[in-house]
Amino acid sequence: MTRGSESSCLALVVCGALLAEVRRIVEARGWGADLYAIPATYHMRPAKIATAVDERLERIRDDYEKVIVVYGDCGTAGALDDVLRRHGAERTRGSHCYELFCGCGFGGLLERDPTSYFLTDYLVRAWDDVVMREMGLDRDPSLKERLFDGFTSVTYLRQSTDPELLARARRIAEYLGMPLSIEDVGLGELEAQLARMIEASVP
């Protein structure tokens, strides 16, 4: 948990894959908010997401005037939204984090290249843990062909222009044996959504 201020009336329950970017936005905007992270690895088992968010909201719901959940549906098939309705909380719009960064522009990217594997800053940073180890590729390299079957390219949706992250993205594309393209999406859509949701309720 990250404390925004001692008197914060706002809590953000954030997917761990978005935590660094949300923290940047909150600090830049000067919002007094407490941040609670849900492990990003739960994307591998989406049923855990709704349960973890439910448990977190149960613990904090009486401590804040407003709670926002920074998630897409992320494979929960509506279970996350059922949890939010029960707690009177709301979440950012979108099916997954790619839409949170790209907005409606993500549909255009998919239409242009429907067989692309998408990276974000988080996934580039955490590739060894979230992909190589979590999916067992470090133990069984032969899994690569099966896990990435059907993908023909890599698209890096960049939130920052960190040259080290770009170098890592290139190494990932090389490992996958696919061409890499870069889309500089920044934080615009995510920041705009949070601004609409937060600034209407924060004095």
Q: Where are the domains of the chain?
A: 10-95+187-198, 98-184
Which has the closest alpha carbon to 70: 120, 137, 25? 25
Token pair of 160, please? 């920052």
Residues 99 and 112: their CA atoms lie apart, in Å, by 15
Say how far apart CA 133 and CA 78 lie, in whole Å.
28
Per-chain mean pLDDT for the chain: 92
**Rounded mean pLDDT, 159-173:** 97
Higher pLDDT, 3 or 134: 134
Residue 64 scores a pLDDT above 70: yes
User: Is residue 171 scored above 90 in pLDDT?
Assistant: yes
What average pLDDT does range 36-45 have in this prediction? 92
**Nearest residue to 169 via CA among 122, 99, 104:** 122
| Cα(67)–Cα(53) distance, integer angstroms | 11
Q: How far is it between the farthest Cα atoms of the chain?
A: 55
User: With respect to CATH, is domain 10-95+187-198 assigned 3.40.50?
Assistant: yes
pTM, 2 dp: 0.87
- pLDDT tens track for 72-114: 999 999 999 999 999 999 999 988 888 889 887 888 888 899 9
Indicate the burial class of 123 (C-beta count within 10 angstroms; 0-12, 13-18, 19 or more): buried
Instruction: Tell me the pLDDT band of 201, cut-offs 50, 70 and 90.
Output: low
Overall average pLDDT of the 129-137 stretch = 94
